[in-house]
Amino acid sequence: MAKVKTKFYCTECGYESPKWMGKCPGCNEWNTMVEEKETIIKTAGVQSSLTQTKEKPQAIIHIESGQEPRLSTTFGELDRVLGGGIVPGSLILVGGDPGIGKSTLLLQSSNALAGTGLKVLYVSGEESLRQTKLRANRLGKLSEQLFVLSETNLQYIEEAIDLMKPDFLVIDSIQTVYQPSVESAPGSVSQVRECTSAFMRIAKGRGIATVLVGHVTKEGAIAGPRMLEHMVDCVLYFEGERHHSYRILRAVKNRFGSTNEMGIFEMMESGLREVKNPSELFLQERPLGVSGSIVVASMEGTRPVLVEMQALVAATNFPSPRRTATGIDHHRLALIIAVLEKRMGMFLQNQDAYVNVAGGMRLDEPAVDLAIAVAIASSFRDMPTQPFDVVLGEVGLTGEVRAVSRAEQRVKEAEKLGFKRIIMPESSLRGWTPPKQIEIIGVQTVAEALTAALG
């Protein structure tokens, strides 16, 4: 007979406790412990392994290594973020705000994979078959190899997988699927953990590439226990403003590729369209001949992206001036302002400073420091920058400009988009030959950069 047991779980880290506590000992978060009832059923025997085989330990030097075969989704941006395509047997988690386009992206990818001859099963726990078909009609021609199932019971989903034996599986979403043997509501810590474990065994044991859609909390993190992200092979976040048409796909975790890559999509009437040249997208509305605006060449993984850096410096009405940063680190902005005050003699203590990266991009690398300094100085002096200049470089505390990585790729991207000058660290010009079609100005200090940019 089954025995019912009550436990408390942390919704952030999955910590388990026999009693309620205000502060979780695992992650030190407050008011995250929730009560759940577990049904313990005693079964004989040992549970099977992931691969359903009994293997012996092997010396690592005798294990054959090779390139993992990958399934191309025909979306170059999605394949780039995944590291070159979908690895068979991998478990992928996709999160994002409601209505951002997660289901549309996966439905388009599933249809594209089915068009190559693969058998695809799309399990929807939030929509009926008719609703899914209405949403899929706007994507264009549909493939006969794309199968849709509207089900939330894990046992019935496993039966459909055994019957169909798909090559690619999509679960939309993991918070709606429930295991009947677990006596708790769908979406709870126990249900999400048990269902994810079941899909992990299915993916690894049968070699089925599986994608799980995860809901997010109001803070933007994936709902459910934190261990959900540890169990999967890849975690993708689909970001963007609902009132804008552009979406950004980022990899937070990837066992088969880099986590620095970024994919950009545009939401159209017929679904998502990949943006192959994001630099043109971020610069198409850039004003020319105004103060406080400069273009910076940033690296997103292996791809150089040119974006506009904007700054506004205005007199403050408060005892302490405001420092507002959008798209860059707030502490980095304070550091650059301190360097300009100390090394360049700019009196910014009675000035509010606002810095924004146009287009909703997030720039974390130090190569954008010099562009921040030039934009602030341009706005403070009310002197416009040259419309076809690109600035890049890391700024040190003594006012020096340090070298940046992959300078050659950044210069080629600027040249391709028609820019005339690049102001960059002099130390980054060693070891390669700059193109003749673009003027490159090497600088060693912030003072030299401001003189070259503003005169």
The reply to whether 349 and 424 lie within a common domain is yes
The contacts of residue 181 (CB under 8 Å, 6+ apart) are: 39, 41
In a domain, 60, yes or no: no
CATH number (domain holding residue 303): 3.30.230.10
pLDDT digits (tens, 9 = 90+) for 79-116: 999 988 999 999 999 998 888 889 999 999 999 999 99
pLDDT for 257: 87
The reply to whether 287 and 266 lie within a common domain is no
pLDDT for 219: 67
The reply to whether 215 and 358 lie within a common domain is no
pLDDT for 49: 44
> What does the pLDDT average to over 415-432?
92
pLDDT for 306: 94
In a domain, 14, yes or no: yes
The reply to whether 262 and 114 lie within a common domain is yes
How many other C-beta atoms are found inside a 10 Å radius of the C-beta of residue 242? Answer: 12
Asked which of 247, 276, 305 is the last residue of a domain, the reply is: 276
In a domain, 51, yes or no: no
pLDDT for 51: 45
Q: Give 43's pLDDT tier (boundaries 50, 70, 90).
A: very low
> What does the pLDDT average to over 408-414?
93
Does 134 score more than 70 pLDDT?
yes
In a domain, 182, yes or no: yes
pLDDT digits (tens, 9 = 90+) for 315-346: 998 889 999 999 999 999 999 999 999 999 99
- In DSSP notation, 150-200 reads E--BHHHHHHHHHHH--SEEEEE-TTT-B-TTS-S-TTSHHHHHHHHHHHH
In a domain, 59, yes or no: no
Q: Give 390's pLDDT tier (boundaries 50, 70, 90).
A: very high
Q: Which of 139-148, 249-258, 298-307, 441-450 has the highest mean pLDDT?
A: 441-450
In a domain, 58, yes or no: no
Q: What percent of the chain has pLDDT over 90?
A: 55
**Binding-site entries:** 96-103
The contacts of residue 114 (CB under 8 Å, 6+ apart) are: 120, 143, 144, 145, 146
Q: Which residues of 396-409 are buried (b: 16+ CB within 10 A; e: fewer)?
A: beebbbbebeebee
The single-letter DSSP state of residue 259 is S
Specify the pairing of strand 293-300 against strand 303-315: antiparallel
The reply to whether 113 and 204 lie within a common domain is yes
The reply to whether 272 and 285 lie within a common domain is no
How many other C-beta atoms are found inside a 10 Å radius of the C-beta of residue 315? Answer: 8
pLDDT for 44: 44
The reply to whether 169 and 313 lie within a common domain is no
The answer to whether 253 and 235 are in contact (CB under 8 A) is yes
pLDDT for 218: 67
What domain range includes position 436? Answer: 281-454
CATH number (domain holding residue 258): 3.40.50.300
Does 46 score more than 80 pLDDT?
no
pLDDT for 48: 44
pLDDT for 224: 66
In a domain, 252, yes or no: yes
Q: Give 275's pLDDT tier (boundaries 50, 70, 90).
A: confident
Q: Give 270's pLDDT tier (boundaries 50, 70, 90).
A: confident
The reply to whether 95 and 233 lie within a common domain is yes
**Binding-site entries for ATP:** 96-103
Helix axes 102-115, 129-137, angle to 10 degrees: 80
The reply to whether 76 and 138 lie within a common domain is yes
Q: Which long-range contacts (CB under 8 A, 24 or more apart) does 402-407 make?
A: 402/366, 402/427, 403/427, 403/428, 404/365, 404/366, 404/367, 404/428, 405/299, 405/367, 406/299, 406/304, 407/432
In a domain, 55, yes or no: no
Helix axes 369-381, 330-344, angle to 10 degrees: 60
pLDDT for 260: 81
The reply to whether 173 and 296 lie within a common domain is no
pTM, full prediction: 0.77
Higher-pLDDT residue of 230 and 222 is 230
